[in-house]
Structure 1
Amino acid sequence: MKEKLKTVLLVLLVTSSLVQSYFLMYRLPGSDSVAKTATNYIKTDDMGPEERAENLIYPDKMVIHMGGDKHTIFYPHSTFYDLIFSRLQARSFDSFQRRSIQNIDISELRAQNDGIELTFASGVPVTLLERVMQIQPDALFQAEQIDRIWIYNVKNETKAHALFFSTEGDVVYEAGKADLTAQDVQQHVDFGKEWTAYTSIKGSYYIPESDIDMVEAEFEIGVYDTEQMQRSLFVDPSITRNIREKDGSEIYTDSKRSLQVRQEQKWMSYTDPAALPAGESSAGSDVLAAIDFVNQHGGWNGDYRLSVVGDGEPENKVVFQQYYGAYPVLDTPQFQYGVMTLNLQQGTVSSYQRSLIYSESGVASKKVKKLQGGDKLRARLKDVEKISVIVDVYPAYQPSLTKNGIRLTPVWAVRLQNGTVTVLK
Structure 2
Amino acid sequence: MKNRDFFLGLLLALLVGTSLFLSGITWWRLYGEYGDIQAENSALSVVDLADVITPDRVVLHFGQDMHSVLYPNAPFYRESWDFARKVLHGKELVEVKNAKLDDENLRQKVGMELFFPVPLPVEFLTKVFNMNITQQAIPQERLVNSMMIIEDDGLSVFFKGSSGEFYGLKNRESSFELKELLERVRLENPPVYTYLPPAKINVKFEEGIYVPVSTEQNDLPVLSLKHEKMPPQSTIAQFFPDFSATRKIEEKDGAVVYTDGNRGLRIYPTGALEYSRPLTGGLKTGSDFYEALKIAANFINTHGGWPQDVYLSGYKVAQNQRTAYTFNFGIRIKGLPLLSQSEYLTVTVEENQVSRYFRNIVKENKVLYEIQPISPIQALDAAIATFNLKEITSLELSYLIFEDALIPVWTVETRSGRIFINAKNGMAINF
TM-score, normalised relative to structure 2: 0.73
1:48 aligned to 2:44?
no
CA contact under 8 A between 2:247 and 2:260: conserved in structure 1? Answer: yes
Aligned AA (1:378): L
1:399 aligned to 2:393?
no
Aligned AA (1:109): L
Which of 169, 172, 185 is matched with 1:175 structurally?
A: 169
Q: Following superposition of structure 1 onto structure 2, how do residues 178-327 of structure 1 map, counting pairs within 5 Å?
A: 178-181=172-175, 183-190=176-183, 191-192=185-186, 194-198=189-193, 199-202=195-198, 203-209=207-213, 210=215, 211-218=217-224, 223-224=229-230, 230-236=236-242, 239-240=246-247, 242=249, 244=251, 253-260=259-266, 263=269, 267-274=272-279, 279-313=285-319, 314-327=323-336
Q: Percent identity?
A: 19
Q: Distance in 2 between matches of 1:128 and 1:97?
A: 15
The Cα of 1:287 is off from its aligned counterpart by 0.4
The Cα of 1:260 is off from its aligned counterpart by 4.6
Q: Following superposition of structure 1 onto structure 2, how do residues 11-410 of structure 1 map, counting pairs within 5 Å?
A: 21-28=15-22, 46=39, 48-51=41-44, 52-53=47-48, 54-92=50-88, 94-100=91-97, 103-110=100-107, 112-126=108-122, 128-130=124-126, 133=129, 135-139=131-135, 140-141=137-138, 143=140, 144-154=142-152, 158-167=153-162, 169-181=163-175, 183-190=176-183, 191-192=185-186, 194-198=189-193, 199-202=195-198, 203-209=207-213, 210=215, 211-218=217-224, 223-224=229-230, 230-236=236-242, 239-240=246-247, 242=249, 244=251, 253-260=259-266, 263=269, 267-274=272-279, 279-313=285-319, 314-330=323-339, 332-333=340-341, 336=342, 339-355=344-360, 363-365=365-367, 367-383=369-385, 386-387=388-389, 389-399=391-401, 402=404, 407-410=405-408
Indicate the SS of the match to 1:315.
strand
Q: Distance in 1 between matches of 2:250 and 2:78?
A: 48
How many residues of Structure 1 are paired with residues of Structure 2 in the alignment? Answer: 377
Indicate the SS of the match to 1:73.
strand
The Cα of 1:60 is off from its aligned counterpart by 1.4
Q: Distance in 1 between matches of 2:39 and 2:304?
A: 5
Q: Distance in 2 between matches of 1:108 and 1:364?
A: 45
Aligned AA (2:145): D
Q: Distance in 1 between matches of 2:114 and 2:387?
A: 25
Q: Provide, for residues 383-405 of structure 1, a one-character-per-residue CA deviation record: whole Å limited to 9, x for no partner.
A: 57745743322222223575xxx
**Structure 1 pair 77–174 and aligned structure 2 pair: CA distance change class (3 A):** same
Aligned AA (2:309): D
Indicate the SS of the match to 1:90.
helix
Q: Which moved more, 1:286-295 or 1:58-67?
A: 58-67
Q: Which moved more, 1:363-372 or 1:228-237?
A: 228-237
Aligned AA (2:144): I
Which of 392, 411, 414 is matched with 1:413 structurally?
A: 411
**Structure 1 pair 222–90 and aligned structure 2 pair: CA distance change class (3 A):** closer
TM-score, normalised relative to structure 1: 0.74
CA RMSD after TM alignment:
3.8
The Cα of 1:349 is off from its aligned counterpart by 1.6
Unmatched tracts of structure 2, length 5 or more:
1-9, 25-36, 199-206, 422-427
Q: Distance in 2 between matches of 1:89 and 1:401?
A: 40
Indicate the SS of the match to 1:88.
helix
Q: Give the ranges of 4+ consecutive aligned residues of structure 1 lying more than 6 Å apart after TM superposition.
A: 16-19, 226-229, 247-250, 275-278
Indicate the SS of the match to 1:382.
helix
**Structure 1 pair 200–24 and aligned structure 2 pair: CA distance change class (3 A):** farther
Q: Distance in 2 between matches of 1:58 and 1:416?
A: 24
Unmatched tracts of structure 1, length 5 or more:
1-15, 31-43
**Structure 1 pair 260–377 and aligned structure 2 pair: CA distance change class (3 A):** same
